[in-house]
């Protein structure tokens, strides 16, 4: 990228940052689909999802996100507690 | 210069898109193989093919549901934080 001037380098950096963020988002969607498929889709695939499978997939995403929030909170609590003893 | 920049951006975007598509395909292969080819025979049966095409459709549907719910949550949290 040394062939570019400073302004252009900055522009490309911003572009790459945005690309990284959007690809992380896509990566998460793919990852959640993979995990929630295992949890929610049972038996031989049919021509449509049952409403309980649909509900499970939606809940699965929400609870996965809750899980990661909870774990971070828990670790912070433990670290704070250790600070007092 | 501008053309060169645009070309570079397009190449980067394409590269990522191809990688993501390959990753998704690999997941579909894995999940649908597990569901549909329970006892591998000497050739693929009609039943297995039917199962595979339904499985593919359901996987894409699951992907849509997941992205809808996930994006809605991100949106919601963004609004919560800004108020």
Confidence grade of residue A6 (pLDDT, cut at 50, 70, 90): confident
Sign of the C-alpha dihedral, residues B38, B40, B46, B50?
A: positive
Q: Do B63 and A65 touch (CB under 8 A)?
A: no
Q: Count of CB atoms within 10 A of residue A50's CB?
A: 13
Q: Which fold has domain B2-82?
A: Helix Hairpins (1.10.287)
Using alpha carbons, select from A69, A59, A2, A1 the residue that is nearest to residue A32. A59
Instruction: State residue A3's pLDDT score.
Output: 64
Instruction: State residue A82's pLDDT score.
Output: 85
Predicted confidence (pLDDT) per residue in A31-63, tens digit = 999 999 999 999 999 999 999 999 999 999 999
Pick the CATH number of A6-41+48-84 from 3.40.50.1970, 3.30.465.10, 3.40.50.2000, 1.10.287.810: 1.10.287.810
Give me the residue spans of the domains in chain B.
Answer: 2-82
Whether chain B has a CB inside 8 Å of the CB on A27: the answer is: yes
Chain A residues whose beta carbon lies within 8 Å of the beta carbon of residue B20: 23, 26-27, 30
Size of interface A-B (CB pairs under 8 A): 83
Indicate the helix (H) or strand (E) that contains B12: helix B2-36
Above 0.95 for ipTM, yes or no?
no
Instruction: State residue B73's pLDDT score.
Output: 96
Give me the residue spans of the domains in chain A.
Answer: 6-41+48-84
Query: Which two structure tokens, joined as six digits, stand for A85?
Result: 């003893």
Poorest-pLDDT segment among A12-16, A45-49, B41-45: A12-16
């Amino acid at each position: 990228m040394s062939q570019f001037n400073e302004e252009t380098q900055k522009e490309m950096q911003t572009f790459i940052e945005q690309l990284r963020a959007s690809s992380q988002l896509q990566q998460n969607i793919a990852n959640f689909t993979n995990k929630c498929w295992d949890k929610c889709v049972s038996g031989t695939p049919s021509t449509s999802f049952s409403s309980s499978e649909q509900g499970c997939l939606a809940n699965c995403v929400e609870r996965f996100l809750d899980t990661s929030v909870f774990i971070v909170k828990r670790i912070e609590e433990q670290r704070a507690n250790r600070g007092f003893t | 210069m501008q053309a060169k920049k645009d070309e570079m951006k397009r190449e980067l975007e394409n590269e990522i898109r191809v990688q993501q598509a390959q990753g998704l395909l690999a997941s579909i292969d894995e999940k649908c193989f597990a569901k549909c080819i329970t006892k591998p025979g000497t050739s693929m049966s009609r039943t297995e093919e039917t199962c595979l095409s339904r499985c593919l459709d359901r996987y894409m549907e699951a992907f849509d549901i997941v992205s809808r719910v996930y994006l809605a949550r991100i949106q919601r949290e963004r609004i919560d934080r800004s108020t």
